[in-house]
Structure 1
């Protein structure tokens, strides 16, 4: 029996083809960058070891979670659906009557002024991450709605039409004071 030489495939250009395919997929693929939760530390705290500031108890809105992802707000167990309205009422309270743009009920047990209201968030390490994100969404949503209302009533504009200076004015009226 004679052995025939079987035809072989020229593999010299295979590496070139694989390289071209690799370049093609690298150039055409989009990689999404996760942005996370955008929070900025107060400027007077950056670079300091002791960043503590005394806050009056009536100006502190406390949110605590446990390992079972249950929510307690100001020592009262609450569902997450009630967090936003309760927080808005706390921030916009105006207990001392100094705020000219607030429309709160002026309860002596809630914040004196939106600029003095602080939200303290204490999250248990075993709390589910999606529950933490829901809490962050509710806090951000409360501030957004208060700023939107301020823009509508005081500046007579929707928040989407505000100039840079007007946005800064609304942020000063309702500053985002979060302690984690």
Structure 2
């Protein structure tokens, strides 16, 4: 009687090569999303030759404590009103030199948008979500005022122009046309948003 042949063996010699090729394929084709982060200009390495003196009324101080409460110019405010408070400060025109401002011209508030500085200070225990939300509201105040002026000057929102200018798919000719417009609006309301040293609650 003939011996029954066993089941044929599977040649697994090339399995490691196949797995390696699949690994390379997925590494090459997979895209990993990254957060854009916060757009901030770092100070120059070299200190300026002269000390810059900023009047206290030209500084809008925003403090966040560890509980997420906001203090704007020593006044306890709600997060919903922060953007309006910041816009009121930036657009104040205290010295009357701003021809495009529509503020109250309060002598106790900022003189001019080019002199106005927003200073943000947070506690070490401040929640990251609160910190980002406050940052967004302050940047939003600048963008709202810039949008207003861009609509007046060019009939278009500043944020749309800036997004198109920064888009890598925008043609060089279109970028060149937008560059001067974007800069002009930015110069009307320069974003002077500084962060003070983080404090620790007792």
TM over 0.5: yes
Segment drifting more, 161-170 vs 71-80: 161-170
What does residue 157 of structure 1 align with?
155
What does residue 92 of structure 1 align with?
91
Distance 2:136 2:84 in 1: 13
Segment drifting more, 50-59 vs 23-32: 50-59
What does residue 173 of structure 2 align with?
none
Segment drifting more, 31-40 vs 134-143: 31-40
Cα-to-partner distance string for 1:42-82 (whole Å, 9 max, x where unaligned) = xxx41125796321011000000111111111001111110
Distance 1:175 1:50 in 2: 19
What does residue 76 of structure 1 align with?
75
SS across alignment from 2:11: coil
Against the structure 1 CA distance between its residues 130 and 7, is the aligned structure 2 distance closer, same or farther, given a 3 Å change threshold? same
Distance 1:72 1:50 in 2: 31
Distance 2:154 2:22 in 1: 57
Which TM-score applies when normalising by structure 1? 0.88
Distance 1:38 1:48 in 2: 21
Against the structure 1 CA distance between its residues 115 and 50, is the aligned structure 2 distance closer, same or farther, given a 3 Å change threshold? closer
Cα-to-partner distance string for 1:66-100 (whole Å, 9 max, x where unaligned) = 11111111001111110000100100000111110
Distance 1:53 1:73 in 2: 23
What does residue 61 of structure 2 align with?
62
SS across alignment from 1:163: helix
Structure 2: stretches of 5+ with no match in the other structure: 162-176, 196-202
**Does 2:62 align with 1:47?**
no
Cα-to-partner distance string for 1:96-131 (whole Å, 9 max, x where unaligned) = 111100000111121100000000000111100011
Q: Segments of 4+ in structure 1 off by > 6 A?
A: none
What does residue 191 of structure 2 align with?
176
Which TM-score applies when normalising by structure 2? 0.79
Structure 1: stretches of 5+ with no match in the other structure: none
SS across alignment from 1:133: helix
* Count of residues in correspondence between the two structures: 174
What does residue 198 of structure 2 align with?
none
Distance 2:178 2:7 in 1: 77
- Cα deviation, residue 156, structure 1: 4.0
- Cα deviation, residue 11, structure 1: 2.0
Distance 1:156 1:24 in 2: 48
